[in-house]
Structure 1
Amino acid sequence: MKYFSLLFLFYAMPLFAVEIESFHSDGCSIFPDGTLDQNDLWLDCCHAHDFAYWKGGSYAQREEADRNLEICVAKTGEREVALIMLVGVRVGGTPFLPTPFRWGYGWPYLRGYKALTEEELKAIERVQGALPGTL
Structure 2
Amino acid sequence: MSFAYISLFAYSVCADTLAPFTSDGCSSFPNGTFEQSELWLACCQKHDFDYWKGGTFDDRLASDKALRVCVANVGQPQIALLMLAGVRVGGSPYLPTQFRWGYGWPYPRDYGALTPDEDQQVELLTAPLVEPK
- What is the TM-score with the length of structure 2 in the denominator? 0.90
Unaligned runs of 5+ in 2: none
Segment drifting more, 8-17 vs 41-50: 8-17
Q: Distance in 2 between matches of 1:30 and 1:97?
A: 15
Q: Corresponding residue for 2:131? A: 134
Q: Corresponding residue for 2:101? A: 103
Displacement of 1:22 after TM fit?
0.7
Displacement of 1:15 after TM fit?
7.2
Higher relative contact order (CA 8 A, sep 6+): 2
- Secondary structure at the counterpart of residue 115 of structure 1: coil
Segment drifting more, 115-124 vs 16-25: 16-25
- Secondary structure at the counterpart of residue 35 of structure 2: coil
Q: Distance in 2 between matches of 1:24 and 1:16?
A: 19
Asked if the contact 1:18–1:123 (Cα under 8 Å) also holds between the matched residues in 2, the reply is no
Q: Distance in 2 between matches of 1:12 and 1:63?
A: 31
Return the match for 2:73 from 58, 72, 75: 75
Displacement of 1:8 after TM fit?
5.2
Return the match for 1:88 from 86, 89, 99: 86
Q: Corresponding residue for 1:47? A: 45
Larger radius of gyration: 1
**Structure 2 residue 57 is matched with structure 1 residue 59:** yes
Unaligned runs of 5+ in 1: none
Displacement of 1:18 after TM fit?
4.0
- What is the TM-score with the length of structure 1 in the denominator? 0.88
Aligned pairs, how many? Answer: 132
Q: Distance in 2 between matches of 1:28 and 1:14?
A: 31
Asked if the contact 2:54–2:111 (Cα under 8 Å) also holds between the matched residues in 1, the reply is yes
Q: Corresponding residue for 1:31? A: 29
- Secondary structure at the counterpart of residue 119 of structure 2: helix
